[in-house]
Chains A and B, each alone.
Chain A
Amino acid sequence: MSQSYDRGLIEDFGRWREFTAGMWAWVFHKFTGWVLIGYLFTHIAVLSTSMQGAETFNSTIQGLESLALVRLLEVGLLAVAVFHILNGIRLLFVDLGVGLESQDKSFYASLVLTGVIVVASVPTFVSGAF
């Protein structure tokens, strides 16, 4: 019961080989969170072209969307967002006291569900790009 366990410093990423599921969840959550806030700045910058008028806005969006690379990045963004949402919901439950003991299972479930949603969305995301 009162088994004490020295988790060491998880911030010490050099120990990644010893990470448990809960630590990986935390690392992924950090990574996806930082990508999302980075994207938000880019997103507003792109949308700002609307201030130069409808023409500029339309040609910017169409120009971007016609690039296969952008389409692939969007699939990546979807994966990142879906994982952050699902894992975030999992964390909210953990904070409410539900499911900490099975956090490895709920983390794997988030990963699998993210994979399924992303794969199912690929056709819609890349349609017409290739």
Chain B
Amino acid sequence: MAQRYSSFSSGSTAWLLQRITAAFLVVVLAFHFFNLHFVTHAYEIEFAGAQARMQNVGYYVTMVLFLLTATFHGVNGVYNALVNQGIDGVQKRVVQVVLGVASLLLVVQGIRVANTLAGF
């Protein structure tokens, strides 16, 4: 019998949200790499170009959604992996607080950067 390996308990809310964000990330992450390595080469990236991209509202919204979903997916993944390793009690609480604060900082800073690049 083939085994299904996962860090998540199948069917939980965390599990479902991980799949939904994953489906979204497939598209934007592939787009992002293509956009910033093949359309614009990574070494050609400069402020003016980033500004031109970010001033497009659709692009700006996509990047902010990318930021939110990637942060959630990544942090949720790390958290569930640790729970799967068996942390509980105080350890679990500490991890929740640390990861929570880290994601909040990441999202706030990411949005500030997005606003700077877009010139808001």
Q: Is the CB of B71 within 8 A of A92?
A: no
- Give CA–CA (A66, B44) in the complex, Å: 11
A30 contacts B109, C-beta separation under 8 Å: no
Q: CB within 8 Å of B: which of A48-93?
A: 48, 50-51, 54, 57-58, 61-62, 65-66, 74, 78, 81, 85, 88-89, 91-92
Task: Compute how far the CA of A10 lies from the CA of B3 in the bound complex, rounded to whole angstroms.
Answer: 11
Interface string of B62-78 (1 = CB under 8 A from A): 00000100110011011
Per the bound structure, the CA–CA distance linking A62 and B42 in Å amounts to 9
**Contact A78 B19, beta carbon cutoff 8 Å:** no
| Number of CB contacts from chain A to chain B under 8 A | 112
Main secondary structure of the interface of A (DSSP, over half): helix
Interface residues of B in 1-21 (CB under 8 A from A): 1-7, 10, 19
> Chain B residues with Cβ under 8 A from A103's Cβ?
2, 4
CA distance A85 to B4 in the complex (A): 18
CB distance B43 to A128 under 8 Å?
A: yes
Complex contact B46–A34 (CB within 8 A): no
Contact residues in A for B50 (Cβ distance below 8 Å): 50, 57
User: Is A36 positioned at the interface, with any CB of B under 8 Å from its CB?
Assistant: yes
CB pair B41–A61 under 8 Å, yes or no, is no
C-alpha gap A62/B19 in the complex (Å):
36
CB contact between B47 and one of A26, A37, A57 (< 8 Å): that residue: A57
Complex alpha-carbon distance, A61 and B19, angstroms: 33
- Asked if A5 is at the interface (CB within 8 A of a chain B CB), the reply is yes
Chain B residues with CB under 8 Å of A34's CB are 77-78
Interface residues of B (CB under 8 A from A): 1-7, 10, 19, 22-23, 25-26, 29-30, 33, 37-38, 41-43, 45-48, 50, 67, 70-71, 74-75, 77-78, 81, 84-86, 102, 106, 109-110, 112-113, 116-117
